[in-house]
Structure 1
Amino acid sequence: MAITSTPLSIEKMDNAPLIITKHSAAFWRVTLDNPPINLMGPDMIAGLQRLMDIVETDKALKVIVFDSAHKDYFVSHFDVLRGAEVPMVSGKLGVQQWVDVSNRLHNAGVISIASIRGRVRGIGSEFILACDMRFASKEQAIFGHLEVGMGLLPGGGAAEYLPLLSGYARALEIAVSADDYDADTAAVYGWINRAFPDKQLDAFVNNLATRISGFELPALQATKTILLQRAGGRPDPFEIQESTNKFFELYQRPEAQALLAKLMEKGFQTDSDTEYRLGHHLGLLAGE
């Protein structure tokens, strides 16, 4: 079963930086497109929540691939300047909107795959961790958790997902170093499934997704459910909510605000060297 040369449809989601390409009824690709640096802000989070409403009711969909329209940024990080616009109570469970989205994605009856080029930090990492599988470009993917370097903590699911995949010691290293990691290291640490030479990434992910889309949905769903149970891979959304609350609590501190102000002066949240080499600049910030 192969991807047809002409997709069934390509649609830009209304009022959200998401492009949905339906390769078949069973295989969709969702492209994140929030230039210039693909910040995860309220519009993207709300769009992903609406996407999950669609995914959960579609009876034919089996596999969904997430990628980015911007080769340098998959999801740079959370848009801290617009954080107050993200509802703290939302969705079926009455948790913060991002927690609702990531929990529903992780537990959805479809297989989700992140195909990663560019920087994926903070909530971007938490987004790919909520997916079922993650594959990345050796040359173009960079991973990191910036939060501790800003006086915060990883609060959108990393504290719950990363230890399951990487173990405590490596998860702690990732979190407290606030540094950038290449795709090869991310693969060794279990952060992602595999890293590929960039020219091979699309073909591998497309072939895998197409192959999965040809199998029976009940078998896919039962296998995902059982493996999640056996692996202990269903983090409690209310534990993630607790981490999220702590993130916002730390964000309100004058010390954290001062660090943010210094980063903003250096070009944080713009297409700048600060964002391009954020791990490096956080290290400099710590020494000031």
Structure 2
Amino acid sequence: MNNQTAYPHLEKKVLLITKHSPAFWRVTLDNPPINLMGPDMISGLQLLMDQIEADKELKVIVFDSANKEYFVSHFDVLRGAEVPMVSGKLGVQQWVDVSNRLHNSGVISIASVRGRVRGIGSEFILACDMRFASKQKAIFGHLEVGMGLMPGGGATEYLPLRAGYARALEIAVSSDDYTAETAELYGWINRAFDDVELDGFVNNLAARIAGFEMAALQATKATILQRSGGGPGPFEIMESTRKFFDLYQRPESQRRLEKLMDMGFQQDSDTELRLGHYLGTLAE
């Protein structure tokens, strides 16, 4: 079984679902040119969560990207107002609804990362249960502080749990790019692999998990979540989301955004490829 589906009624077809078996799905993120996390992708992920929660056979889901340079580049700041502030089952902003439901789902979620994963992209993979990345092709970062903002979609909640206070603060306030090896060292991801080994490892792990009993998988995930503190609640992340948008409205943040746009921000450009470097030049 290897069926592929998408959500054609969305403005853009940004998710491709490959059902390797009833128990193992792969979701490929595809929002050219640089895989921005905007209203189309977030709406698609919310529909996906409805489908995941209704399915009685799904055990494991792998997320990857159709763009080998960008897993998820970052939030589409120019279309941020289009993301509903109240949406879905949890009564919170749409992205917060998606990420919190994914984190607490009975399904095991795995991010297989190639390319840049910054800002909300990092927050997306942090909401997944496991994260594996290519040593040669994965780049991680949080751009928000460099833009006069703060991480607002879960990083301030998840990163301290994964990396500890000092490293989480370094990641956030440096607004720099980090290699997969450093991300592994910091606990941001589970493991980094040579690029040629990544797909084989993730596929084998997902297929192995899919062969185990549903009841055992769900009980184990739920118990480990509980023993580890359960992760942030939706209203904790919502507080950070509001702070993000409050900071975004400031003239200082708008001036930084204008500078970045002039440099090629949100375009397939050297600025996006080396965003950590360019953020460090904004104050010059």
Q: Any gaps of 5 or more consecutive residues in structure 2?
A: none
| Residue 63 (structure 1) aligned with residue 57 (structure 2) | no
Query: Which residue of structure 1 aligns with residue 164 of structure 2?
Result: 167
Mapped contact 1:31–1:68 kept (Cα < 8 A): yes
Equivalent AA in structure 1 for residue 279 of structure 2:
L
Q: Deviation per CA, 1:204-234: give whole Å up to 9, x if none.
A: 0000000000000010000000101111132
Mapped contact 1:164–1:233 kept (Cα < 8 A): no
Kindly report which structure 2 residues correspond to 1:26-41, keeping only aligned pairs within 5 A, or say none: 26-41=23-38
| Residue 154 (structure 1) aligned with residue 155 (structure 2) | no
Q: Of the candidates 200, 222, 227, which is equivalent to residue 224 of structure 2?
A: 227
Query: Which residue of structure 2 aligns with residue 47 of structure 1?
Result: 44
Q: Any gaps of 5 or more consecutive residues in structure 1?
A: 1-6
Q: Of the candidates 92, 106, 111, which is equivalent to residue 114 of structure 1?
A: 111
Q: Deviation per CA, 1:44-80: give whole Å up to 9, x if none.
A: 0000000000000100000000000000000000000
| Residue 211 (structure 1) aligned with residue 205 (structure 2) | no
Mapped contact 1:161–1:233 kept (Cα < 8 A): no
Query: Which residue of structure 1 aligns with residue 181 of structure 2?
Result: 184
What SS does the aligned partner of 2:27 have?
A: strand
Q: Output the CA distance in 2 between the equivalents of 1:58 and 1:249.
A: 38
Q: Output the CA distance in 2 between the equivalents of 1:126 and 1:279.
A: 17
State the 1:179 CA deviation.
0.1
| Residue 202 (structure 1) aligned with residue 186 (structure 2) | no
Q: Of the candidates 94, 97, 100, which is equivalent to residue 100 of structure 1?
A: 97
State the 1:144 CA deviation.
0.1
Q: Output the CA distance in 2 between the equivalents of 1:93 and 1:59.
A: 21
Equivalent AA in structure 1 for residue 140 of structure 2:
F
State the 1:11 CA deviation.
1.3
| Residue 11 (structure 1) aligned with residue 8 (structure 2) | no
What SS does the aligned partner of 2:281 have?
A: helix
Q: Output the CA distance in 1 between the equivalents of 2:50 and 2:228.
A: 26
State the 1:8 CA deviation.
2.8
So what's the TM-score if we normalise by structure 2? 0.98
Mapped contact 1:13–1:20 kept (Cα < 8 A): no
Q: Output the CA distance in 1 between the equivalents of 2:107 and 2:14.
A: 22
Q: Deviation per CA, 1:244-284: give whole Å up to 9, x if none.
A: 00000000000000000000000000000000000000011
Q: Output the CA distance in 2 between the equivalents of 1:149 and 1:240.
A: 20
After TM superposition, what 4+ stretches of structure 1 lie above 4 angstroms from structure 2?
Answer: none
**Percent identity at matched positions?**
78
Query: Which residue of structure 2 aligns with residue 3 of structure 1?
Result: none
Q: Output the CA distance in 1 between the equivalents of 2:85 and 2:6.
A: 26
Equivalent AA in structure 1 for residue 237 of structure 2:
I
Aligned pair count reads 281
Query: Which residue of structure 1 aligns with residue 249 of structure 2?
Result: 252
